[in-house]
A = this chain, B = another copy of it.
Amino acid sequence: MIKVLVVDDHVLIRKGLVLLLESYPDISIIGEAGEGEEAVRLALKEEPDVILMDISMPNGIDGIVATQEILRHSKNIKVILLSMHDEEGYIQEAIEIDADGYVLKNSQGGELYHAIKQVHKGEKYYKVGLPPEQIDRLFENKGNKQASILTLREQEVLRLVVYGYTNKQISEKLSISPKTVENHKSNIMAKLELKQKSELIQYAIANHYIDSQ
């Protein structure tokens, strides 16, 4: 029996996915989350075998950030990212953060089941529109991406800052002290040689820390 956690911010879609997966006798849905923060909390509490995680979610903690948070704490949980997009950039990002699978929303139900079985066995499942050789190349080039000036943590903080969260809210989402958030913020400003918050926002917009579809 594979214990699965389903994460998608759209209730209708989430419920649909749950119904779809519940028709398989060897899959047991042990929880649902509607946002990244809750996903992290549930994942660490329930310890599912596999998490089915939508990439695009609101509130700054999208599927990518939530996956990073989860894998930071528990290497045993497998995460399959669910996405509408099959562009290289998204897939590269998924590989970068060590996601175990990547499934498109317009694949067949059976494919999703297959993906869950496969990652549960410890294998990767990346079946997307791109040719397999290209995906292999992305795996090989992992880590070579021109590293951002900002550390991963700083990027997480920045994303939440531009979404307008207070230091306290950010500290809760990341389970750190508000003071640490302050420090990350001022380190970011120093690194980027920015003096004003508005410059920071503009940097974030230019570097796509905000997705406005």
Residues of A within 8 A of B (CB): 9-13, 15-17, 19-20, 34, 58-60, 82, 84, 103-109, 112, 162-166, 169, 196-202, 205-206, 208, 210-212
- Determine how close the nearest CB of chain B comes to the CB of A98; give it in whole angstroms: 23
Residues of chain B with a CB closer than 8 A to A105's CB: 10-13
Residues of chain B with a CB closer than 8 A to A103's CB: 12
The 10 closest A-B pairs by CB, nearest first: A16-B16, A164-B201, A10-B105, A164-B198, A19-B19, A164-B197, A10-B106, A11-B106, A165-B198, A205-B212
- Determine how close the nearest CB of chain B comes to the CB of A10; give it in whole angstroms: 4
Q: What number of copies of this chain does the assembly contain?
A: 2
Residues of chain B with a CB closer than 8 A to A208's CB: 212
- Determine how close the nearest CB of chain B comes to the CB of A51; give it in whole angstroms: 16
Which residue of B is nearest A112, CB measured?
A: B12
**Contact, CB under 8 Å: B13 / A201:** no
**Contact, CB under 8 Å: A15 / B12:** no
Given the interface pairs A20-B19, A210-B212, the reply to whether A163 lies near B12 with Cβ below 8 Å is no
Given the interface pairs A198-B59, A198-B169, the reply to whether A17 lies near B10 with Cβ below 8 Å is no
Which residue of B is nearest A108, CB measured?
A: B11
Given the interface pairs A106-B9, A196-B164, the reply to whether A202 lies near B58 with Cβ below 8 Å is yes
Residues of chain B with a CB closer than 8 A to A165's CB: 197-198
Residues of chain B with a CB closer than 8 A to A13's CB: 13, 16, 105
Bound CA span A129–B185, Å: 32
Which residue of B is nearest A21, CB measured?
A: B16
Residues of chain B with a CB closer than 8 A to A82's CB: 12
Which residue of B is nearest A207, CB measured?
A: B212
A15's contact among B9, B11, B16, by CB below 8 Å, is which? Answer: B16
